[in-house]
Structure 1
Amino acid sequence: MALKQQLQQKQQQRLSPLQMQVIKLTELPNIELEERIKQELVDNPALDEGHDDSDDLQNGSDNEDFDDSSNITQEDIALGDYLTEDDIPDYRLTANNSSTIAREDIPFSSAESLHEFLIDQLHLTELSEDDAKIAEYIIGNIDENGYLDRPLNAISDDLLFQQNIDVTQESLKRILEEVQSFEPAGVGARDLQECLLLQLRRLPEDTAVNNAIRIMDRYFDDFSKRHFDKIKRSLNVDDDELKQVIQVITGLNPKPGNNWGDALSLTMNTIIPDFIVEAYNGELFMSLNNRNIPELRVNREYSEMLRGYSENKKGVTADTKNAIAFVKQKLDSAKWFIEAIKQRQETLQRTMQAIVDLQYDFFLTGDESNLRPMILKDIAELAGYDISTISRVSNSKYVQTNFGVYPLKYFFSESMQTDTGEEISSREVKAILKECIENEDSKKPLTDDKLADILKEKGYIIARRTVAKYREQMNIPVARLRKNL
């Protein structure tokens, strides 16, 4: 096939650097926006904190044309800071954001980690040097919940290829049992069954503990599925004895490592609301939480420097051209960043105001039954934005109210109708389902069919499969798994 050249003219949509900035900043929650601004202040000397009392921003934008014979174009200067691999805009409608600040800059809890706690205990054992190395490798494969997340044969292969240690399966199992004898009880288990058995075997022996060990060892699946009648027949125990066994087992910790993870989780999951909605005397007042967001301005010295270069067009050298390009680039970057922050704030303000207008009764009372059906399209029409923009705003954002802190996604729900034709939120139906399940007879829990019948009696025409969907969304198990003695 012959090669040939040809000219082709076509139109393409291309995002400006300002649009890229706005898209990226709109997705960020408050805490990440603070870090992003701090990083921009460090990276760009033309950006300063504080109120802009002069017209330098406008003056800087007027001096864009520097007429010389260089090949520096406006596009080359403007886009230089933006079109990098790290600045490709994210068009997805789901949140998958991460801060641009390095993780080590985030303050972590200084408490001892689970791995450090286990290593300290390892140093107190009488294992040989080689066995201690193997035990340390095993500890390194224990996850934050305290479970060994790799099979022993895979660990054996790793030790052989990475550390040139050839260990048999029997020796590896013996060393693992040594690690499993460490505190907390249950650490190093390979599954839930083994974890519970490790804890039971450390308890003082009595009839209930012995029965619990037998159930966990032989009838774990039956116990998980709450086939209590089968267990009673197999072990020849009555209801009272089985209740004692259940009490012992439910007192165990299914995640022995979580005591070390709680402090870190709380540190990482601290919520800083992006919006504040307060109710006073029957009126709502909405504001953005800008407490830690600094006011930004363009550095006056850089604006004057660019103006000086622009006015002095004689004796232009290569170094002067490079200086002009650098100063212009940093000024443009600063101006676009400031404008992007302003547009972000305006977008968030209008979007949140639309949500408040639709959910006015809820913000006044905090009553979940007052939540109206609301989807992204409803807010997009009210706020005058695209649905994708509303999705970006609602992802990872929180609002502080008189009744608690809520994620914005909490206010979005499907629309349903009662038998009278009244439109209600699916969240109201979930609240009724949850109440019915909480008040059910634990010996005869309500099936999905029965729950659907109860809802129909209350005027909510809902199919059984819809009841099952809502129950699963609320992480409520099926009736069989909710059954108790």
Structure 2
Amino acid sequence: MLKQHLQFKLSQKLSPQQIQLMKLIQLPTQAFEQRLKQELEENPALESGKEDSNSLDEDYGDSYEGESDSETINSEDINIDEYLSDDEVPDYRTRANNYSADDDEKSIPYAAGISFNQYLINQLNTVYLSDEEWAIAEFLVGSVDESGYLRRPLSDIMDDLAFTQNVYVDEPTIEKVLKVVQDLDPPGVGARSLDECLIIQLKRKEQNPNVELAVKILEKSFEQFTKKHYKKLIQKYDITESQLKDAISEIEKLNPKPGGSYSGSNKIIEHIVPDFSIKIVDGELELSLNGRNAPELHVSKEYSNMLAGYKAAKDRSKSQKDAVLFIKQKLDAAKWFIDAIKQRQQTLFVTMNAIMEYQREYFMTGDERQIRPMILKDIADAIGMDVSTVSRVANSKYVDTPYGTKLIKDYFSESMKNVQGEDVSTKEIKKILETVIRDEEKRKPLTDDKLAALLKEKGYPIARRTVAKYREQLGIPVARLRKQI
């Protein structure tokens, strides 16, 4: 049986313009500049730079409200006077004064350099090799990763040499050529494992009892060494604790990622561009928005002339009517983009200002223990915006402070109760945990149970599993791996 009934449902849909605005808000400074460049390339009605004060650009008033669907508009329905009005200087001509004067830093020069792979090839050119050995050595160098390791089994390399290079050799031959590659700089390059990498470096050092003992430990007791079973090593090699300590000291001087010492200095580094700056001026906090987020934009004068010409024309052809529809679409897009940038600037500034005020004690002192528990909703309620908007502002953006450049989202944290029943930030607890571990007796590192007991004594009653979670988030290993002799 069929039944009919009415159902009322409230729903909210974002317009395409709102969606684009949200995307603009989320962009950090460098990505925003790329988006701005793209818009300028795609929309000829939008221009950058200062306007000629003698031009008629200020004829573009903000009184026009464009239709949402330009395809349904007839050229006869367009009120051209709304685009050619005599309004006062529009809002987009007004510069905001809440950003810093760092507009000129538009690009960063990079030093040229050869690749790590080419660096190794250049060294091979100084070694005498047969044609077959050269082909093998070149293939091996091409298989070395950025860390300097050869991660692939020799059996796979043997197959690849046969299929791709038409070189048919056995594994012992490849092993022989690999020794040549392992003699290249930086020391340790071409190793197939961490222990082999360290051993190669030790064997290229000036030999002495400490180095020889270190080689012996890595070759025969690498697992015990990594697990810090020092008593077993002392018994196995019949050595004193001092001798073991000297051997370990030799190992600690080595580079576990030899490729990083070269490739890291030649790699293009991604520079962080702070989106905000906070300074202390006369005992007060001063917030500024990076000037690169406030570009000078205006609507093209040429498009104004086009509309004026269309208005003056008595006989309007179909092509002219099509053209005025195109012009209107581009003008609408330009006006919207200028307005969206203004909204973006305001949203960024208002949100960051609320974060700064919320964390005022930290920004005044730099003491991370002063960071208050803060979630997205706290800031959203303070500025009357949605949580998602605050999330977009905090995401991937940085603030330059007197204490370094910080990721904004790092200032957000959950809260926990201390023994006095006060809300404290989890960041404060992590900082104290880090300090306790730093000051512990390294010969007898504190277990998670003991750390939990110490934190409880300091007024932070948290469980052992919570201590373990915070320790892992801080990148600190378990007690056994923190042990030193």
Report the TM-score when normalising by structure 2: 0.84
Q: 1-side partners of 2:167 and 2:280: how far apart?
A: 67
Q: Which amino acid aligns with 2:129?
A: L
Q: CA deviation at 1:256?
A: 0.7
2:190 to 188, 206, 219: 188
Q: CA deviation at 1:107?
A: 4.8
> In the alignment, is residue 484 of structure 1 matched against residue 484 of structure 2?
yes
Q: 2-side partners of 1:339 and 1:155: how far apart?
A: 59
Q: CA deviation at 1:297?
A: 1.1
Q: 2-side partners of 1:147 and 1:171: how far apart?
A: 19
1:257 to 256, 259, 278: 259
> In the alignment, is residue 303 of structure 1 matched against residue 310 of structure 2?
no
Give the equivalent residue in structure 1 for 2:377. 377
Aligned pairs, number: 442
Deviation string 1:348-389 (CA, Å, 9 cap, x unpaired) is: 112111211210111111111211001122222222222222
- Taking a change above 3 Å as real, the CA distance of residues 69 and 43 of structure 1, as seen in their structure-2 partners, is closer
Is contact 1:187-1:257 (8 Å) kept? yes
| SS of residue matched to 2:265 | helix
| SS of residue matched to 1:390 | helix
Q: Which amino acid aligns with 2:136?
A: I
| SS of residue matched to 1:58 | coil
> Residues 56-95 of structure 1 correspond to what in structure 2 (within 5 A)?
56-58=59-61, 61=64, 67=74
Give the equivalent residue in structure 1 for 2:164. 162
Q: 2-side partners of 1:154 and 1:106: how far apart?
A: 42
Q: 2-side partners of 1:62 and 1:421: how far apart?
A: 54
Q: CA deviation at 1:339?
A: 2.1
Structure 2: which 5+ runs fail to align? 1-8, 78-106
Give the equivalent residue in structure 2 for 1:123. 125
Q: CA deviation at 1:170?
A: 2.4
Q: 1-side partners of 2:248 and 2:474: how far apart?
A: 25
Give the equivalent residue in structure 1 for 2:15. 16
| SS of residue matched to 1:158 | helix
Give the equivalent residue in structure 2 for 1:440. 440
**How high is the sequence identity, in percent, across the aligned residues?**
49
- Taking a change above 3 Å as real, the CA distance of residues 246 and 450 of structure 1, as seen in their structure-2 partners, is same
Residue range with higher mean Cα deviation, 153-162 or 225-234: 153-162
- Taking a change above 3 Å as real, the CA distance of residues 362 and 215 of structure 1, as seen in their structure-2 partners, is same
Give the equivalent residue in structure 1 for 2:344. 344
Q: 1-side partners of 2:264 and 2:10: how far apart?
A: 54
Over the aligned positions, Cα root-mean-square deviation in angstroms equals 2.8
Deviation string 1:227-281 (CA, Å, 9 cap, x unpaired) is: 111111111111011011011000101111112233356x523222111112223
Q: Which amino acid aligns with 1:336?
A: W
Is contact 1:63-1:306 (8 Å) kept? no
Q: Which amino acid aligns with 2:277?
A: I
- Taking a change above 3 Å as real, the CA distance of residues 233 and 111 of structure 1, as seen in their structure-2 partners, is same
Q: Which amino acid aligns with 1:23?
A: M
Structure 1: which 5+ runs fail to align? 1-9, 71-104
- Taking a change above 3 Å as real, the CA distance of residues 191 and 389 of structure 1, as seen in their structure-2 partners, is farther
Q: 1-side partners of 2:164 and 2:299: how far apart?
A: 54
Q: Which amino acid aligns with 2:185?
A: E
Q: 1-side partners of 2:385 and 2:76: how far apart?
A: 43
Deviation string 1:165-224 (CA, Å, 9 cap, x unpaired) is: 333322222222221110000011122111101111111222111111111111111111
Q: CA deviation at 1:163?
A: 3.5
Q: Which amino acid aligns with 2:276?
A: F
Q: 1-side partners of 2:338 and 2:169: how far apart?
A: 61
Give the equivalent residue in structure 1 for 2:387. 387
> Residues 86-485 of structure 1 correspond to what in structure 2 (within 5 A)?
107-264=109-266, 267-291=268-292, 293-309=294-310, 312=313, 314-318=315-319, 320-485=320-485
Q: 2-side partners of 1:62 and 1:343: how far apart?
A: 17
Q: CA deviation at 1:427?
A: 1.2
Q: 2-side partners of 1:190 and 1:231: how far apart?
A: 25
Q: 2-side partners of 1:131 and 1:60: how far apart?
A: 77
- Taking a change above 3 Å as real, the CA distance of residues 432 and 170 of structure 1, as seen in their structure-2 partners, is same
Q: CA deviation at 1:313?
A: 7.4
Q: 2-side partners of 1:106 and 1:13: how far apart?
A: 43
Is contact 2:199-2:219 (8 Å) kept? yes
Is contact 1:303-1:331 (8 Å) kept? no
- Taking a change above 3 Å as real, the CA distance of residues 63 and 354 of structure 1, as seen in their structure-2 partners, is closer
Q: 2-side partners of 1:182 and 1:395: how far apart?
A: 43
Is contact 1:56-1:300 (8 Å) kept? no
Q: 2-side partners of 1:146 and 1:111: how far apart?
A: 18
| SS of residue matched to 1:297 | strand
Q: Which amino acid aligns with 1:58?
A: G
Q: 2-side partners of 1:142 and 1:44: how far apart?
A: 46
Q: 2-side partners of 1:155 and 1:56: how far apart?
A: 70
Deviation string 1:67-120 (CA, Å, 9 cap, x unpaired) is: 3599xxxxxxxxxxxxxxxxxxxxxxxxxxxxxxxxxx9754313332121010
Deviation string 1:427-459 (CA, Å, 9 cap, x unpaired) is: 111111111111111111111111111111111
| SS of residue matched to 1:399 | strand
Is contact 2:234-2:240 (8 Å) kept? yes
Q: Which amino acid aligns with 1:277?
A: I
- Taking a change above 3 Å as real, the CA distance of residues 241 and 300 of structure 1, as seen in their structure-2 partners, is same
| SS of residue matched to 2:61 | helix
Q: 2-side partners of 1:388 and 1:283: how far apart?
A: 30
Q: 1-side partners of 2:378 and 2:478: how far apart?
A: 34
Give the equivalent residue in structure 2 for 1:74. none
Q: Which amino acid aligns with 2:279?
A: E
